[in-house]
């Protein structure tokens, strides 16, 4: 009975923590994360300020948790790309599809990253930059297996990986700004993403590392 009660308390704690994070995302979408206060977040989440401190030591820690949660979607995109790393066209087509669908599912998180990476607090901006660097490194592992790249230096693989990530971030931001239900605009973004990635790929054979 004690274990059940413990599990119940843990589940409730998890729900409260998520409610605080959801409240922060909602408020940040209106005012920017750096402009909202702990009390505003607590009020929006329906908890007292003291309850906030049971989950986060500060607003900076809350911001870091939001960054980590937001990038979990990007990590899933890497796993999608790893499904068939030997067929380049499949990777490009899958990446464009997964990009748009992932943003649609986690629009508020992508909007948070898009906004805060240029206008957020120093702590949040640095965390986003760090996560993007990790994403570049993870993608580089996939790219290093592709034809014409396997002999490249580590620095050059990282360089082309960063090009792909910047492309993905740019297109993700376009999806965030696209009105919901506009599948025609989503298809345009997918097509543009495919063309941009193929343009990068065209330089693979000519590049001498």
Residue-wise pLDDT tens digits, 73-121: 667 766 765 665 544 556 677 778 778 888 888 888 888 998 888 887 8
| pTM for the model | 0.79
> What does the block give as tokens for 41?
């977040």
Q: Where are the domains of the chain?
A: 1-56, 58-202
The Cβ of residue 22 has, within 10 Å, a number of other Cβ atoms equal to 15
Question: Measured in whole angstroms, how far is the alpha carbon of residue 10 from the centre of its chain?
Answer: 27
Mind listing the pLDDT tens digit for each residue in 36-50?
999 999 999 999 999
What is the spatial distance between Cα 167 and Cα 199, in angstroms, rounded to a whole number?
A: 11
CATH number of 58-202: 1.10.357.10
Question: Please, what CATH class does the domain formed by 1-56 belong to?
Answer: mainly alpha
151-168: burial string, b at 16+ Cβ within 10 Å, e else: ebeeebbbebbbebbebb
Backbone angles phi, psi at 159, to 5 degrees: -60, -50
- CATH topology agreement for domains 1-56 and 58-202: no
């Amino acid at each position: 009975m004690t274990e059940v009660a413990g599990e119940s308390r843990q589940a409730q704690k998890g729900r409260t923590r998520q409610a605080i994070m959801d409240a922060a995302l909602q408020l940040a979408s209106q005012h920017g994360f750096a402009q909202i206060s702990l009390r505003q977040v607590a009020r929006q989440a329906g908890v007292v300020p003291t309850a906030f401190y049971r989950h986060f030591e500060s607003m900076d820690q809350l911001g870091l948790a939001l960054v980590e949660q937001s990038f979990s979607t990007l990590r899933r995109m890497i796993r999608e790309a790893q499904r068939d790393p030997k067929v380049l066209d499949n990777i490009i087509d899958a990446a464009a599809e997964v990009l748009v669908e992932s943003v649609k599912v986690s629009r508020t998180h992508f909007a948070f990253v898009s906004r805060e990476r240029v206008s957020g607090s120093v702590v949040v901006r640095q965390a986003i930059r760090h996560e993007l660097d990790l994403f570049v490194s993870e993608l580089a592992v996939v790219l290093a297996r592709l034809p014409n790249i396997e002999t490249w230096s580590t620095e050059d693989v990282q360089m082309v990986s960063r090009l792909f990530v910047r492309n993905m971030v740019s297109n993700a931001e376009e999806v965030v700004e696209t009105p919901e239900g506009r599948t025609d605009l989503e298809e345009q973004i997918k097509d543009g993403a495919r063309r941009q990635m193929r343009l990068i790929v065209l330089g693979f054979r000519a590049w001498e590392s």
